[in-house]
Amino acid sequence: MGNKNISMAVIRRLPKYYRYLGDLLERDIQRISSKELSDIIGFTASQIRQDLNNFGGFGQQGYGYNVDALHNEIEKILGLDKKYNAILIGAGNLGQAITNYTGFKAAGFEIKGLFDANPRMIGLKLRDFEIMDSDNLEEFIEENDIEIAIICIPKNGAQEVTDRIVKAGVTGIWNFAPVDLEVPSHVIVENVNLTESLFTLSYLIKDNR
Amino acid sequence: MGNKNISMAVIRRLPKYYRYLGDLLERDIQRISSKELSDIIGFTASQIRQDLNNFGGFGQQGYGYNVDALHNEIEKILGLDKKYNAILIGAGNLGQAITNYTGFKAAGFEIKGLFDANPRMIGLKLRDFEIMDSDNLEEFIEENDIEIAIICIPKNGAQEVTDRIVKAGVTGIWNFAPVDLEVPSHVIVENVNLTESLFTLSYLIKDNR
């Protein structure tokens, strides 16, 4: 695919565009100006024009953006039209919450199995899944063509599991463990670091008190 | 407090410094050069010197940084030495996972109560808490000096709850609902947007396939 030189700052704004454009479609709004988009999304109209220019000319002077076409294009750019098989490792509280997370479908991620290392968790049912023994990760990844792993285990052990699943073929990791995973360059890691977010909140509140 | 003109980019790197410095302290390492820190954290030594210069002179030519002093100072800058009373709203799967999240203590946040609007949830026990009726939010916030609310409810309803809790005195929100909350300027909102993170992963994987 192209778009290699779009900055990560722009990419991280795309989900927001996608969400608001989806809202507009639900309300059956078919065209919108950068000014109106700006009022809704909160970015400046000039930033919006600049961002969307990265993906070709969806805006026309005096017409605005075609909402449906733009929504489709962002969907493709984000790869949301692709399907990925995923597993979740660590079926504790957070893992269970993530398993029930409804956003996977929109992203084309399908969870195929849950794993845990704790003997008391193995065999339990969660939604349609029976929690499997982490010992069998490699076999499952290879047999089910798993590309994505969602890591919801504590800090200790996260790197070891990562090494194993990467060796077995995983190329994308959604990491909730508070640790910087080391991976080969062909593997993508996206971190959700709750502590960093919470500390940022703490900082902002303190300065605001 | 000062530090008003430190950029958010620097602030968002501080939790990472704090975490790695904490690891060093656990291993009883008392001083470290920017070069060694760079090897561990992955930022360049020049970036590290620049970042840490924002907070005064912790580094000395030929000596390096005093790990303990730097750790303490970042703790203060992030406000981790302050105490905040918090409530959690929305005791579903994600809310339960967040309730069990061990990072609150490090940030000085103490959860004082859990709330849900679902009659089947109200009265259930979760850890030491009996889930309370969201109808009673205002009273609880005022009586318990609550500054922080963690919002774990779905998109619909999040703004309405926000309006209510802000009116009752909440000044900081850790928001897990996939919606941009509108708040008065004295209220801080820190978003954890799982969908945006997942879509970013989808983008990166797609380009990497």
pLDDT tens figures, A91-142: 988 898 888 887 888 889 999 999 999 999 999 998 889 999 999 999 999 9
Q: How confident is the model at residue B57 (pLDDT cuts 50, 70, 90)?
A: low
A100 and A189 belong to one structural domain: yes
Residue A60 has pLDDT above 80, yes or no: no
pLDDT in tens, B76-135: 999 999 999 999 999 988 898 888 887 888 889 999 999 999 999 999 998 889 999 999
Domain count, chain B: 2
- Distance from C-alpha of A202 to C-alpha of B82, rounded to nearest angstrom: 9
Antiparallel, parallel or unpaired: β B148-151 and B84-89 = parallel
> How many CA atoms within 13 Å lie on the side-chain side of A84?
33
Closest CA to A186 of A168, A172, A174: A172
**Whole-prediction pTM:** 0.84
List of chain A residues whose C-beta atoms are within 8 Å of the C-beta of residue B83: none
- Distance from C-alpha of A204 to C-alpha of A196, rounded to nearest angstrom: 12
Over residues A5-30, mean pLDDT: 89
B34 and B72 belong to one structural domain: yes
Q: What is the pLDDT of residue A58?
A: 61
Q: How many CB atoms lie within 10 A of CB A35?
A: 12
Q: Would the CB atoms of A19 and B190 count as touching at under 8 Å?
A: no
B69 and B96 belong to one structural domain: no
A50 and A28 belong to one structural domain: yes
Query: Which structural domain, as residue segments, surrounds residue B181?
Result: 84-196
B178 and B91 belong to one structural domain: yes
B109 and B191 belong to one structural domain: yes
Interface test with B, best of A14, A41, A203 (most B CBs within 10 A): A203
A114 and A61 belong to one structural domain: no
Task: State whether residue A180 sits within 8 Å of chain B by CB.
Answer: yes
Task: State whether residue B186 sits within 8 Å of chain A by CB.
Answer: yes
Q: What is the pLDDT of residue B7?
A: 84
Residue B161 has pLDDT above 90, yes or no: yes
List of chain A residues whose C-beta atoms are within 8 Å of the C-beta of residue B208: 171-172, 186, 188
Interface test with A, best of B14, B147, B150, B197 (most A CBs within 10 A): B197
Antiparallel, parallel or unpaired: β B172-175 and B188-191 = parallel
Residue numbers of B between 149 and 168 with CB closer than 8 Å to A: none
A91 and A45 belong to one structural domain: no
CATH assignment of the domain containing A160 = 3.40.50.720
B69 and B24 belong to one structural domain: yes
Of B22, B44, B77, at which residue does a domain stop? B77
CATH assignment of the domain containing A45 = 1.10.10.10
pLDDT in tens, A168-187: 999 999 999 988 999 999 99
Task: State whether residue B124 sits within 8 Å of chain A by CB.
Answer: no
Q: How confident is the model at residue A1 (pLDDT cuts 50, 70, 90)?
A: very low
B144 and B114 belong to one structural domain: yes
Closest CA to B180 of A7, A45, A64, A15: A15
More confident residue, B98 or B137: B137
List of chain B residues whose C-beta atoms are within 8 Å of the C-beta of residue A171: 205, 208-209
List of chain A residues whose C-beta atoms are within 8 Å of the C-beta of residue B88: none
B93 and B189 belong to one structural domain: yes
* Composition of chain B by helix, strand, coil, percent to 5: 45, 20, 35
Confirm if A115 and A88 have CB atoms less than 8 A apart.
Answer: yes
List of chain A residues whose C-beta atoms are within 8 Å of the C-beta of residue B194: 101, 103, 192
A209 belongs to a structural domain: no
Residue B115 bridge partners (DSSP): B89, B132
Of B38, B57, B77, at which residue does a domain stop? B77
Task: State whether residue A15 sits within 8 Å of chain B by CB.
Answer: yes
Residue B59 has pLDDT above 70, yes or no: no
B135 and B172 belong to one structural domain: yes
Which H, E and C letters describe chain A, residue by residue? CCCCCCCHHHHHHHHHHHHHHHHHHHCCCCEECHHHHHHHHCCCHHHHHHHHHCCCCCEECCCEEEHHHHHHHHHHHCCCCCCEEEEEECCCHHHHHHHCCCHHHHHCEEEEEEEECCCCCCCCEECCEECEEHHHHHHHHHHCCCCEEEECCCCCCHHHHHHHHHHHCCCEEEECCCCCCCCCCCCEEEECCHHHHHHHHHHHHHCCC
